[in-house]
Structure 1
Amino acid sequence: MNIRFGTLIIGVSLLASALTLAGCGERPQTLESGARKADQTVAQQPADKSEVVPGWTDGDKASWEQQIRNRSQAQNEYTRSTPAKP
């Protein structure tokens, strides 16, 4: 009976190590065709006017920075909350 227990322990540990090593495999994450994906084409197209905030112009760095400042101030809890009345 002691021999069966030993072989059971060895079998369970071999199975656990095999399952652990099976999770370590990684497939290569390349495109099947080997061609590069062109991400630049969409980013360089002019913005759709229905999705543009008023006051922002396409290609103007200063208006972009102003819109970013406005968005971050809209998320600032100190500017959004009303002061407590005494």
Structure 2
Amino acid sequence: MNARILRAALPLALGLALAACGEKPQTLGQGSRQDTPAFDGPASPFTAAGWKPGDRTSWEQQIHTRQQQGQNEYNKVY
């Protein structure tokens, strides 16, 4: 009986080991940089109105406004 279980478990273990070898590397992709500050982000149609890329003060103002309008529980109306 033990030999029968071993014969059934061996292909299963081999299949799991080979499946782990097929994992693709998780990279950020080309053009992604981690050494730039957050306020130097790209200008795109999805950025908030009033924010200018590269301007730290406008970025901080946008973050402050977003926190007050959407993430502050005291300002929410129930």
Normalising by the smaller structure, the TM-score range is: 0.5 to 0.7
Instruction: State which structure, 1 or 2, has the greater radius of gyration over its C-alpha atoms.
Output: 1
Q: CA RMSD in A?
A: 3.4
Aligned partner of residue 77 in structure 1, secondary structure: coil
Of 2, 6, 11, the residue aligned with 1:10 is 6
Any gaps of 5 or more consecutive residues in structure 2?
Answer: 34-39
How high is the sequence identity, in percent, across the aligned residues? 26
Larger RCO: Structure 1 or Structure 2 (Cα < 8 Å, ≥ 6 residues apart)?
2
Matched residues, number: 69
Q: Distance in 2 between matches of 1:39 and 1:68?
A: 22
State the TM-score, normalizing by the size of structure 2.
0.56
Determine whether 1:80 maps to 2:73. Answer: no
List alignment gaps of at least 5 residues for structure 1.
Answer: 31-35
